[in-house]
Structure 1
Amino acid sequence: MNHFKKWIASALSFAVLGSSVFAQSEELESFYGGETVTVLIGHPPGGTFNLYAQLAAAHLGDHIPGNPEVIVQHMPGGGGSLAAAFFSNKAPTDGTMIAILPETLAIKQVMDPEGSLWDMNRMRYIGRFTDVTSVMGVRQGAPATTIEGLRDVGGNFACSGTTTGSAQTGALAHYFAGFNLNMVCGYDTATAGVLAVLRGEADLTSTIWTNWNATQREQLDSGAIIPVVQFGLKPIEAIADVPLAMDLVDDPEARAAFRLFAASGEVGRALLASPDMEGAKYQMFVDAFASMIEDPTFIADAEASRVPLNIALADELEEIKALILATPDEQTEILKVALDEGFK
């Protein structure tokens, strides 16, 4: 009799749970049906932020209950800082806005909490389209094209603003790995720095591998551009023989600084949920992203558009974010000094 009662109780609990899930699904479908979901980015049209935002706009709505329209909103300014501040403080919290924001937000927050007008503790990742590991490339014919040569002879390193990840790779290599670099900053974008190298105006620069691979494939294949260092936590498969920056140094503090810097690249081009979005809607976006990336239409579109994918799901990204936000103050200070001194 007791077994029968337990079976009845279990059956009833499953029935209640199923009813609750169905009701929640109906509620989400009712809310999102006819609604518009906005993907906010802090950069103008063009570039990888827009590339992945448009990919999300084309496909994510098909995996959200009610199939809402998904659009992209551009809010350029401060290298994405303007959009980050808006998203953290003024964005709708009802589940109608998500974002693709700079991968460096968490590390900027721990390094400059007062100057960071956002709180990554209140934002949650939905999923990543690709990592954005920076790779340093040198032109064929430059005074130095090897690690040893860059430490000895060195070269002119083209960079944009000193707060950009591509520029900071040069500063860190200069400070920690002993690269003899003349940091020539002031180019409008990382892409402009790449073009300066191709013209022979500079000797080397860094940009994310996605950019190198998409825009300079011919130069890479011909050897006109030689990748010399990659700034990730693990090697990129296509250039597995190119050393990681952290493997160029023995000092534990230097290795830790390179790991911290590389963690941001692992965040990559990822969708974020707005602060205070209710749990059911956040989980819905997580599930929608996971469903979208398995959709043959999405995969075919990405392949046809030559959009690189290196997917990571919400849990992995949240772990990386937590790791960055928990960085000890002393480690943060070491990185601050390196980024300051490395540009001199």
Structure 2
Amino acid sequence: MKRDALKYCGVLVIVALFAVTGFAAETDYYRGKTVRIVVGLSAGGGFDVYARTLSRHMGKHIPGNPTFVVDNMPGAGSMIAANHVYKAAKPDGLTLGHFVGGLFMQQLLGRPGAEFHATKYEFVGAPIPEKTACALTKASGIASMERWMAAKTPVKLGATGSGPIVDVPKILKHAIGLPIQLVLGFKGTADIRLAAESGELAGACWSWDGIKSTWTRGLESGEVNVVLQALAKPLPDLSKVPLAVSYAKTAEARQLIQVGVHDAADIARPFVMPPNTPKDRVQIMRQAFLTTLKDPAFLAEAEKSKLDVDPVTGESLEKIVAAIYRTNPAMLAKLKEVLE
């Protein structure tokens, strides 16, 4: 009996040692290291602002307190960054990617350029679901949906190469008949804002969080107006701005908006890690990500930058992406036709 008790105690000691050793290894791994966030859009835009704000706070919530740096890698609507994180970045827990989640739908629809399979990324989380709104300059003459619907010439909207900023206008043009001319090729929303302010564009449809945090002066001065929101429910601070789905006249139009806009919103701003990153490091990043988004210091800076915070967990992103890959083939075919 005594021998069994001693044996049991010995097992407990070994288990405890393994636990302590594991914790020490976990802590030691990130100590003195640098974690790189690869952002697929240019500096100064909404994606960049979220990444840089996170980078200033996330390290203190990881054992070993690593340093974080942001590396902008714009191009092809952030496809270059998505491919880099998937193919070139080492799966060592030291690289995060932050790019347009609409690329996942593009890859599913068979568009060229995607050198990844979305379900194989390791999902860390998203700071917010996408809340797309259409903001147009006062100089464009489009201050309301009535004027937009009645426009005799297509309204020029700027866009990068992919994501909601491209897909939402295309879906709205088809589903509700909005006169739109997309001007592609911008590296990020900072460039789009400059083009709109110079009169080259009327505006764009992209994240309301990005609009209000980076186009603050235009909104406050009245030089920029938000005329439409592509959401299932109105945002509290846009309560008088109409919803796109309210202009849909057919079941097909409503379904296109549901699948192509509303369902895609949660995955629009993902933070991911390369495939085959060790699961324990993925879990460390997931936990640190969520803890950072509750950190009072982070929240104070986010409020100052007018960044909303409404986290989507890595586990949720993983499930949503898997579900999108099971979308009805007929609806996928229609979406592909609309988004071509």
TM-score band by shorter chain is 0.7 to 0.9
Displacement after TM superposition at 1:58 (Å): 1.7
- Report what 2:294 is aligned to: 294
Separation of aligned partners in 1, 2:61 and 2:222: 43
- Report what 1:4 is aligned to: none
Compared CA separation, residues 325 and 339, structure 1 to 2 (3 A): same
Displacement after TM superposition at 1:60 (Å): 1.5
| CA deviation vs aligned residue, 1:125-153 (integer Å, no higher than 9, x gap) | 21222333221134447555433443333
Separation of aligned partners in 2, 1:105 and 1:21: 40
- Report what 2:275 is aligned to: 275
Q: Secondary structure at the match of 1:73?
A: strand
Q: How many residue pairs were aligned?
A: 331
Alignment of 1:174-189 (within 5 A): 174-185=173-184, 189=188
- Report what 1:3 is aligned to: none
- Report what 1:5 is aligned to: none
CA contact (8 A) 2:120 2:275 kept: yes
| CA deviation vs aligned residue, 1:91-119 (integer Å, no higher than 9, x gap) | 21121212212221211111126642011
- Report what 1:246 is aligned to: 245
Separation of aligned partners in 1, 2:160 and 2:294: 37
Compared CA separation, residues 303 and 13, structure 1 to 2 (3 A): farther
Compared CA separation, residues 181 and 273, structure 1 to 2 (3 A): closer
- One-letter code aligned to 1:273: M
**Aligned counterpart in structure 2 of residue 120 of structure 1, from 109, 118, 121:** 118
- One-letter code aligned to 1:52: Y
Bigger Cα displacement from structure 2, 57-66 vs 67-76: 67-76
Q: Secondary structure at the match of 2:38?
A: strand
Displacement after TM superposition at 1:62 (Å): 1.0
Compared CA separation, residues 275 and 219, structure 1 to 2 (3 A): same
- Report what 1:61 is aligned to: 59
CA contact (8 A) 1:156 1:184 kept: no
- Report what 1:205 is aligned to: 204
- Report what 2:5 is aligned to: none
Separation of aligned partners in 1, 2:295 and 2:203: 39
1:160 matched to 2:152? The reply is: no
* Alpha-carbon RMSD: 3.1
- Report what 1:82 is aligned to: 80
Displacement after TM superposition at 1:25 (Å): 1.8
| CA deviation vs aligned residue, 1:158-217 (integer Å, no higher than 9, x gap) | 323564532433322221101233445566654444455455555453232123212333
Compared CA separation, residues 336 and 35, structure 1 to 2 (3 A): same
- Report what 1:230 is aligned to: 229
Separation of aligned partners in 2, 1:162 and 1:81: 8
- Report what 1:50 is aligned to: 48
Displacement after TM superposition at 1:239 (Å): 0.9
Bigger Cα displacement from structure 2, 95-104 vs 322-331: 322-331
- One-letter code aligned to 1:295: D
TM-score normalised by structure 2 residue count: 0.83
Separation of aligned partners in 2, 1:93 and 1:277: 4
- Report what 2:4 is aligned to: none
- Report what 1:6 is aligned to: none
Separation of aligned partners in 1, 2:97 and 2:201: 35
Separation of aligned partners in 2, 1:172 and 1:83: 25
Separation of aligned partners in 1, 2:161 and 2:83: 20
Separation of aligned partners in 1, 2:314 and 2:12: 27
Displacement after TM superposition at 1:320 (Å): 2.5
TM-score normalised by structure 1 residue count: 0.82
- Report what 1:133 is aligned to: 131
Bigger Cα displacement from structure 2, 241-250 vs 54-63: 241-250
Alignment of 1:87-106 (within 5 A): 87-106=85-104
CA contact (8 A) 1:64 1:284 kept: yes
Q: Secondary structure at the match of 1:112?
A: coil
Separation of aligned partners in 2, 1:23 and 1:250: 63
Compared CA separation, residues 54 and 92, structure 1 to 2 (3 A): same
- One-letter code aligned to 1:69: T
Identity of aligned residues (%): 23
Displacement after TM superposition at 1:334 (Å): 0.9
Separation of aligned partners in 1, 2:187 and 2:83: 23
Displacement after TM superposition at 1:21 (Å): 4.5
- Report what 2:35 is aligned to: 37
- Report what 2:285 is aligned to: 285
- One-letter code aligned to 2:120: R
